[in-house]
Copies of this chain bind each other. A is one copy, B any other.
């Protein structure tokens, strides 16, 4: 509910739409989520969603993409970390992303969309090939195949621990996860 006497501003409205989209895509998948349901959840009409975000596909890409400032902050952190501690740092950043409630929804929406339909897989492929992998590989100055192997290790871990929720990973502490996967990522970096 909006406090009496105040209308929600554009940033509040667009954030509400994005929040509703993330929650519904995470639980229902891309195909199982309608623009109408997102509009209802956000308390707006569909025209307003199209005004802010365009088509359902555009909205989905906005919902699963990490905010530009978060990606920028992450890359800056990685650039400033000494090379010999970079493996641990990369894992720590990813553990934070997939366990933080907001971004955890984005990770889940990404998996559900990619695994659910051919259309979702194609979007995930575009996102991975053209946005995430090139930036990751350029920031760390590593070979593309090494970057892909690191991402595979992290995504596989998120899949087992967050999506499937299998033990012993799903309840392991952040420190345990960093100690388990950090040396693996470091070894990949040292090979590059």
Contact = CB atoms under 8 A, between A and B. Distances in A.
Interface in A138-192: 144-146, 148-149, 151-157, 159-161, 163-169, 172, 176, 180-181, 183-184, 187-188, 191
Interface residues of A, number: 43
Most B CB atoms within 10 A — which of A149, A164, A176, A184? Answer: A164
Contacts of A105: none
As for how many copies of this chain the complex holds, the number is 2
Given A125-B165, A128-B164, A164-B128, A184 B112 contact: no
Interface of A: 29, 111-112, 114-116, 121, 124-125, 128-129, 133, 144-146, 148-149, 151-157, 159-161, 163-169, 172, 176, 180-181, 183-184, 187-188, 191
